[in-house]
Amino acid sequence: MEYDIFREALAIKYPAQGHALWVPGPGGLYSAVEVGDVGFVREGKFHRLFNVLLPEDHPSHKNFGVPEHYEPLELKMKMHIYPSALSPIDFRSREVTVVSDELGISAAGPEPAQVTFSCSRKRGAILSLPVQAQRNDTLAHGEFAKCILKYIDVWFAFARELGLGVTRMEDIILVTGRDLVRSWTNVAFSESKEGEQVSLGVRVTSGGDVEWQFSREDIRGVAVNRGPSGQNLPQNQCIFIRGFRVARFLKMLPRLRGAAEPTQGPSGDEPEFETKIISTPSDTDYQDPLHTLLDYLTTQAPDCDVALVHDDDLRYIDVVVCLFIY
């Protein structure tokens, strides 16, 4: 589907940006994605359940509530958010090139400046960012990692009890970073003709108003998802998220030997097995990048009980391997 192609194609070229969302808007269910949110991505949209940094009675928790025996995460550092900015840019996958650019996407003239892109393969993606994005990331990665490891079973059970169709533990995300913008446009080339072109234009006024224009939106095999246009647009559209995911390994038999040795349980009768947590890149068949990392651990690290991965891990995947997988 277009949202999978969009995510995968941009992840290969821009691994440090995080998970690209095909549907960045909150949809009226919450104000905007924030650091500390726990949720999942489905069909390119992030669905927020609750925020670990907020108290149980916070107004944003009224929709789904919070897990049983919920306690907010108390960080050791008060100022843990590192803010930065993304300048206006066209994120495009390796297969997409710029054919013509009329002064770029930041033009503020009376007519929208047109940019034409061409895709050399059947698949490719573009994220056009006409205005600056606000980027927030937590510095408390260690505490966030411990939090998801401690509560992932409770969070997963909570999501399943809500009947939201979450069937895999590794779908649960603890957000450590996000990028918010006022407007955007996403393009996914899916089974299109090689060399297919698409043109888009945008006019951004000195007051920050955004006006999009497209030459064609009915090109076979090309999906276009347009962001908001107009005046006084709120900065609540999340184009990238970054966060932790966890998967547990199913054990048919107890470990006898390995990196983690059995130790005596509290009663002295039954052995306990220590948990070893690792996070490494993947070189297996391509799917969602973080699921690929988790799958690698479940098959290649049999002495581990749980795997912890983060979007930052994607930057360590070899480019040649990524291109071969894709």
Per-residue b or e along 258-273, where b marks 16 or more CB atoms closer than 10 Å to that residue's CB: eeeeeeeeeeeeeeeb
Element (H, E) at 240: strand 237-248
Whether 308 contacts 148, CB under 8 Å: yes
Which pLDDT belongs to residue 312? 86
Which pLDDT belongs to residue 216? 60
pLDDT 10s digits, 17-66 = 999 999 999 988 889 999 999 999 999 999 999 999 999 999 999 999 99
Q: In DSSP terms, which residues pair with 73 in a beta bridge?
A: none
pLDDT at residue 133 tops 90? yes
pLDDT 10s digits, 80-125 = 999 999 999 999 999 999 887 654 444 455 566 788 888 888 889 9
Best CA proximity match to 209, nearest among 187, 189, 188, 182:
182
Which pLDDT belongs to residue 60? 94
Q: Which of these ranges, 5-19, 81-95, 144-158, 309-323, has the smallest mean pLDDT?
A: 309-323
Which pLDDT belongs to residue 106? 46
Give the tokens for residue 178.
């996000």
Which pLDDT belongs to residue 66? 97
Which pLDDT belongs to residue 271? 42
Task: Tell me which residue has tokens 């497209």.
Answer: 214
Task: Tell me which residue has tokens 């843990």.
Answer: 80
Which pLDDT belongs to residue 125? 94
Q: For residues 236 and 286, give the distance between their C-alpha atoms in angstroms, rounded to a whole number.
A: 31
Predicted confidence band of residue 218 (pLDDT cuts 50, 70, 90) = low
Give percent above pLDDT 70 in the chain.
76
Predicted confidence band of residue 190 (pLDDT cuts 50, 70, 90) = confident
Q: For residues 193 and 15, give the distance between their C-alpha atoms in angstroms, rounded to a whole number.
A: 27
pLDDT at residue 233 tops 60? yes
Torsion angles phi and psi, residue 281, rounded to 5: -70, 170
Compute CA distances 155 → 40, 66, 67, 289, 293, whole Å.
Answer: 11, 9, 7, 22, 21
pLDDT 10s digits, 243-267 = 999 988 765 434 433 333 444 444 4
Q: Rounded mean pLDDT of 202-228? A: 80
Q: Rounded mean pLDDT of 183-191? A: 90
pLDDT at residue 192 tops 70? no
Q: Rounded mean pLDDT of 154-183? A: 95
Give percent above pLDDT 90 in the chain.
47
Which pLDDT belongs to residue 110? 59
Kindly report the average pLDDT of the chain as a whole number: 81
pLDDT at residue 278 tops 80? no
Which pLDDT belongs to residue 235? 93
